[in-house]
Chains A and B, each alone.
Chain A
Amino acid sequence: MAPRDPQLLKGIVSLLLLQLLAERESYGYEVVQRLHETGLTDVLEGTVYPALSRLEREGRVSARLVSSHAGPARKYYRPTAAGYEALASGAASWASLTAVVTSVLNRPVPAQPIEGN
């Protein structure tokens, strides 16, 4: 698999988190594991935890503490109404962006660039 640009991934982490949390309420480390299961193994905890904090501050996710028999209470996140809205608009923007980028990148590349005037 080609290596991914971390900056490219960073821009869409919030969108991915909203999607995963919309599928299933999760706590921080669980979200990281779920991201890894999708193949995004280069997204690490140090990126996900602050991203969850940011989403919470922006009111896009809400959190609740759930007691755990294996240790202290865990903080589970789920999208709010604003989070669902952000997810829908973000997904639409992403689809539109990837469509444009893919159409550009799929053009044949000439052996030499055409010379300018």
Chain B
Amino acid sequence: MPDTLSLLDRLRIERVVWVLDQRLYDLPRKTRIAKRREVRENLQVAAADVGVGHALRNLGNTHRLAAEYRAAEFGDDPRPAWLAAAVFLLTAQLFFTAFLAEAANAFGAGIKAANPAATGTFTWSGLGYVQDTVTYSFVNGQGSSVGGAWTPFAWVLWAVATICVGRLWRVASLWRRRQAAVTQTS
């Protein structure tokens, strides 16, 4: 019975349950919670029956199990990876913006290193294709900058990379299949 499980056994089960849960993020929230509860309950009964190690081994690889659950929920056809697309969309924006800001800062730092009392306007064309022109205005070594934003090409690159990472081209075929299913049902 599950009451006989030690704290360590329960923690081992919880670890697997939550790893699986993370891999089921594409499922609707309610379904994912139901799966999590069911797997936990079954694992606890199995662990009380055959031992936690054996129960976890019989459950198999959580990656494969999650893939089977997703296939059970959405069907076997290829699907877009919404979560991967969203994570890439945000993190790429964050890191690339920080990278371009650092590049612009390096240009400003270079001017100050060359002449600590620099005065005048200095322009850098930015990183090729992906960054707008950066202009620094210095007065007695104190500078401020404008520009350095993403170019339209960088935005296009970002959008294309998001589509590739999330396999978002599959949305069109998914939509067509759903429409066909609706037509067939009606």
Contact = CB atoms under 8 A, between A and B. Distances in A.
Interface residues of B, number: 27
B68 A50 contact: yes
Contact of B42 (A49, A53, A54, A73): A49
Interface residues of A, number: 22
Contacts of B40: 72
Interface string A43-57: 011110111011001
B65 interface: yes
B3 interface: yes
Given A29-B46, A50-B68, A53-B35, A72 B61 contact: no
Chain A interface, DSSP helix/strand/loop, else mixed: helix
B3 A45 contact: no
Interface centre among B1, B38, B68 (most CB of A within 10 A): B38
B44 A71 contact: yes
Interface of B: 1-3, 34-35, 37-42, 44-46, 49, 55, 58-61, 64-65, 68-69, 71-73
15 contacts: A28-B38, A28-B41, A32-B46, A44-B58, A44-B59, A45-B60, A46-B60, A46-B61, A50-B71, A53-B35, A53-B72, A57-B72, A71-B3, A71-B44, A73-B41
